[in-house]
Chains A and B, each alone.
Chain A
Amino acid sequence: MNENLFTSFITPTMMGLPIVILVIVFPAMLYPSPNRLINNRLISIQQWLVQLILKQMLLIHNSKGRTWALMLISLILFIGSTNLLGLVPYTFTPTTQLSMNLGMAIPLWAGAVITGFRHKAKASLAHFLPQGTPITLIPMLVVIETISLFIQPMALAIRLTANITAGHLLMHLIGGAVLALTSISPAAATITFIILLLLTILEFAVALIQAYVFTLLVSLYLHDNT
């Protein structure tokens, strides 16, 4: 228990070689794409899931927003499977890395915003000033709205990082508490263990919810800009 709490978030290397590449690429192997007429159960479930997500996500978009379908689907599947694989004990979770989440959030946000400025310049600029603002407040509000626009990708990335990191830390801490309590008082240890179990179930839910939230927010930024 003397080890640092944050050890599990250090990017793994083996003999100086970054294994993080394998960790990040691994979820892609869980989505095979065979060209058979009748697929097995795994692929059928995946295809059903993809179609479900497509129906849910793309309902709000117009035809221009729907060109992002592949991007949004691969985003939610990538984040979701990475989060779920990170819940396997003793594994490294790439979504706890701020770098990776910023790397996902900034290009997607920038893509949506640039699309907006290119095709709907007037409407995009109008977002910088809410209607009916008193004249004295106009300069300040434009500055605030500009900042809030540029903070969007940061919020997106930090939300995912913080949620996954906090969940892993909490499980680590409560797991340590259970271990420490077993020798002191078995009753307290049992209660703590039940809490740990419930927390683990919550973390499974959070893994999927955060993937959904990330994709939903990217999709909303896209919706505002198409």
Chain B
Amino acid sequence: MPQLDTTTWFITILSMLITLFILFQTKLLNYTYPLNALPISPNVTNHLTPWKMKWTKTYLPLSLPLQ
């Protein structure tokens, strides 16, 4: 069993530590995962309403009967 020859153990373990704990982890940390696609409708523009919602609701002058 050449695996039990301990002269090469140091260099093998050292290179494994560098690969596993530094190279692999930095690589996986730097992965950029695409986020899930969200539907964004481009036509919604924010109109600034020139009136207040709470009192225009009841007072609609045009819907009054003409005199």
Q: Are B27 and A31 in contact (CB under 8 A)?
A: yes
Which residues B16-50 have CB closer than 8 A to chain A?
16-21, 23-25, 27-34
Which of A17-25, A114-122, A128-136, A189-197 is the contact stretch? A17-25
**In the complex, B8 has a CB within 8 A of chain A:** yes
A25 touches B4 (CB 8 A): no
Question: Taking CB as reference atom, which chain A residue is nearest B31?
Answer: A33
Main secondary structure of the interface of A (DSSP, over half): helix
Across-interface contacts of B60 in A (CB, < 8 A): none
- Judge whether A96 and B12 touch: CB under 8 Å: no
> Chain A 32-52 against B: per-residue CB contact (8 Å), 1 yes, 0 no?
110111100000000100110
Interface size on A, residues (CB 8 A): 40
B2 within 8 A of A: yes
Please count how many residues in chain B sit with their CB below 8 Å of the partner chain's CB atoms: 29
A77 to chain B, nearest CB (A): 6
Complex partner residue of A70 from B2, B5, B9, B29, CB under 8 angstroms: B29
Which residue of B25, B28, B34 contacts A50 across the interface (Cβ within 8 Å)? B28
> B4-16 interface mask toward A, CB cutoff 8 Å, 1 = contact, 0 = none?
1110110111011
Residues B3 and A96 in contact, CB atoms below 8 Å apart: yes
With a CB–CB cut-off of 8 A, which chain A residues contact B15? 18, 20-21, 24-25
Count CB-based A-B contacts (< 8 Å).
96
Chain B residue with minimal CB distance to A20?
B12
Q: Which residues of B contact A20 (CB under 8 A)?
A: 8, 11-12, 15
Instruction: Tell which of B1, B4, B19 has the most Cβ of chain A within 10 Å.
Output: B19
Nearest to A12 among chain B residues (CB) is: B8
The verdict on A65 contacting chain B, using a C-beta distance below 8 Å, is no
Chain B residues closer than 8 Å to A73, beta-carbon distance: 28
Answer yes or no: A28 CB below 8 A from chain B CBs.
yes
Asked whether A10 is an interface residue with its Cβ less than 8 Å from the other chain, the reply is: yes
CA distance A73 to B29 in the complex (A): 11
CA distance A36 to B33 in the complex (A): 10
The answer, yes or no, to whether A75 is at the interface (CB within 8 Å) is: yes
A-B contact pairs, 21 of them (CB 8 A): A9-B1, A9-B2, A10-B2, A10-B5, A24-B15, A28-B19, A31-B24, A31-B27, A33-B28, A38-B34, A47-B33, A51-B33, A70-B29, A74-B20, A97-B12, A99-B8, A99-B13, A102-B13, A103-B12, A104-B20, A165-B3
Query: Known pairs A74-B28, A99-B12, A103-B17. 14 more at Cβ < 8 A?
Result: A11-B2, A25-B15, A31-B27, A32-B27, A33-B31, A37-B34, A47-B31, A70-B25, A74-B20, A78-B19, A78-B24, A94-B16, A97-B3, A102-B13
